[in-house]
Amino acid sequence: MSKLHTLALKYGAITAINLQNQLAYIWDAFHRAFFIVVVMFIFTQLWTAVFQAQGVAVINGLTLANTIWYFLVAEMIEMGKFRHDLTISEEVKDGSIAYTLVRPYNYLAYHFFNGLGETVVKMGILFVAGSLVCYYYAGPPTAQLSHLPAVFFSLILAILLDFCFLSMIGLLAFVTEDTGSFRLIYQKLIFILGGLLIPIDFLPDWLQTIARALPFAAITYAPAKLFVAFSWAEFGQLLTGQLVWLVLAGGLLYAQYRWAARRLLVNGG
């Protein structure tokens, strides 16, 4: 059995166990379904009023139906992500990270694959529940089946990129005891420059340029935009941005993790 196959089985088992745990208590996750229904109803009424006030059917390439489905995917990504940075921060503060680091798996890989099982359930519930509202007000999505694999790949990259940033925030507990302020700043940047509260296409041109150059758009905007208005040209552009930022963020996270591990050893765990 190859080492790669062994690793796949190990981390696949971690994901499967967490997925089973989430399914065992699936009713606990249905409050998110109610929340997404309320959120999508509010966004639907808001953007319907905006399009009617503008007296147009299309704003910067997005129809009202596109905009409604865009917000569903964007909210699904934000509400469905796993908050492992809180766990990392607590493990650093209470010292239990000294024990988890010596376990027979990579510390960061464990958090990713453990959270992946949670995300699959949460995003699935959010999308299904939100789709009921979207379908009622906007009809079926315009996404073609042939484009969905590319959209799904973009979503995976978005989850990985978000994982890198949240991991770096969690590991900042080695430097500052409270990481809540960093988490709050990151969240607000996602809201504004990531396209969560308003599609980047609707921002002023100068702000669009800034937002598209930053990594936050690669986390929320990219998968949502590709789902509602896919084009291979835009897919290539957004994919390039995601991969560049993933390499940069992954490199920074690796360096930070190595520094944190050395610091822990120097201080005697």
How far does CA 97 lie from the centroid of its chain?
25
Domain count, the chain: 1
Cβ–Cβ < 8 Å for 164, 236: no
pLDDT at residue 25 tops 80:
no
Q: Report the C-alpha gap between 76 and 119 in whole angstroms.
A: 10
Q: Packing angle between helix 107-138 and helix 64-80, nearest 10 degrees?
A: 150
The single residue listed with the structure tokens 């966004």 is 43
What residue ranges in the chain does DSSP mark as E strands?
58-59, 62-63
pLDDT at residue 79 tops 80:
yes
pLDDT at residue 157 tops 60:
yes
Query: The tokens of 76 are what?
Result: 């699904």
The single residue listed with the structure tokens 């995601």 is 242
168-211 confidence digits (pLDDT tens): 999 998 888 788 899 999 999 999 999 998 999 999 999 999 99
Classify residue 174 as exposed, middle or buried by CB count within 10 Å of its CB (0-12, 13-18, 19+): buried
Residue 58, beta-bridge partner list? 63
33-60 confidence digits (pLDDT tens): 888 999 999 999 999 999 999 888 888 8
- Which range marks the domain in which residue 36 is found? 3-266
